[in-house]
Structure 1
Amino acid sequence: MTSVSEKSRASTQDNTLVDPISAHPAFNRTESQIAIAGHPIHAMLVAFPIALAMCTLGADGFYWWTGDVFWARAALWASGMAFLLGVAAGVSGTIELLMVRGIRIRAASWTHFVLAVMLLSILGANWGYRLSGYEQAVLPWGIMLSLFAAGFTGLTGWHGGKLVFDYHIGTSPTGRD
């Protein structure tokens, strides 16, 4: 009696194992479908929440250092915009993930997606915590949330960069639309 693995191994001509994911016809179709003039919207939007998450941490640090209320208020606005623009970037990225089979088929895409959703929850918590009193919120919990958000932004961004640079997700193979 022949086992299933022996049948699949025997099905290839040179008896080499074939990765079923990379053998899928849609594996290399990773061009962005949500784009303006060939420029992926998700890639254009993610820069803003990344920068604003880091600005929130910076403003918290300056408030801690100077005690100037301006920095606490700046952190409130930066954290709020990081969350709101992160949601916009997340919506475009989610649509891209669900529409493009070459993106959806990769496990690394789902890792980035899960990390991004977790990051959005951290950004939202950071903003929500500050809404009831932005000056009192900074120390100690606001700055801790900002540190956590900054670290998670780096982790999520690293995985997103890996998708672009290693797998060419969201890029055009011809360099044009």
Structure 2
Amino acid sequence: MIHFPVAALLGLVAVDVAYLMSRDPFWARAGLWLAGVGAAGGWIASLAGLVDLVTVAPVRRLVTGWCHAVIAVMMLSLASMNWLLRFGDDQALVIPWGLYVSLLTAAMIALAAYLGGRLVYEHAVGVDTEE
């Protein structure tokens, strides 16, 4: 569930840089769509994470799980703000604010991915350990 939103939000950085270099309106329009797909898809995917966090007692006891959830909500809030920045006029705020928010969102994706990896590989969250 998270692959498409993550790809969209990371691709948004490249699209913003392409717009910065060329000022071609195509890249601004592509950025609007990538920001929207990334934010909306991320919120949908976060519902599955919320269900895990609330319903699985061992996950609720993990500090890593709570940190992952908080970082993910902050990242999705930034992604949503980035989409709203572009919504009315897809070119007006791309430079500098859209690019700054895209870079910050990408950094938070990396942190959330690291914490998610720790949940899976160190704590076996979502892993069937029964033989």
TM-score by length of 2: 0.95
What CA RMSD, in Å, does the superposition of the two structures yield over aligned residues? 1.1
Please list the CA deviations of residues 112-171 of structure 1 after superposition, one character each: whole Å capped at 9, or x if unmatched: 111111111111110011111111121111111111111111111111111111111111
Moved over 4 A (4+): none
Task: Please tell me whether residue 125 in structure 1 is matched to residue 81 in structure 2.
Answer: yes
Q: Which amino acid aligns with 1:62?
A: A
Q: Which amino acid aligns with 1:78?
A: L
DSSP 3-state at the match of 2:126: coil
Query: Which residue, 105, 111, 118 being the options, matches 1:155?
Result: 111
**Residue in 1 that maps onto 2:45:** 89
Q: Is the radius of gyration larger for structure 1 or structure 2?
A: 1
1:97 and 1:127 mapped to 2: Cα distance?
27
Q: CA deviation at 1:50?
A: 1.2
DSSP 3-state at the match of 1:136: coil
Task: Please tell me whether residue 98 in structure 1 is matched to residue 62 in structure 2.
Answer: no
Q: Which amino acid aligns with 2:105?
A: A
Structure 1: segments with no counterpart, 5+ residues: 1-44
Structure 2: segments with no counterpart, 5+ residues: none
2:9 and 2:117 mapped to 1: Cα distance?
17
Point out the structure with the larger helix share: 2
Q: Which amino acid aligns with 2:46?
A: G
Please list the CA deviations of residues 88-134 of structure 1 after superposition, one character each: whole Å capped at 9, or x if unmatched: 11111001111111111111111111111111111111001111111
User: How many residues were matched structurally?
Assistant: 131
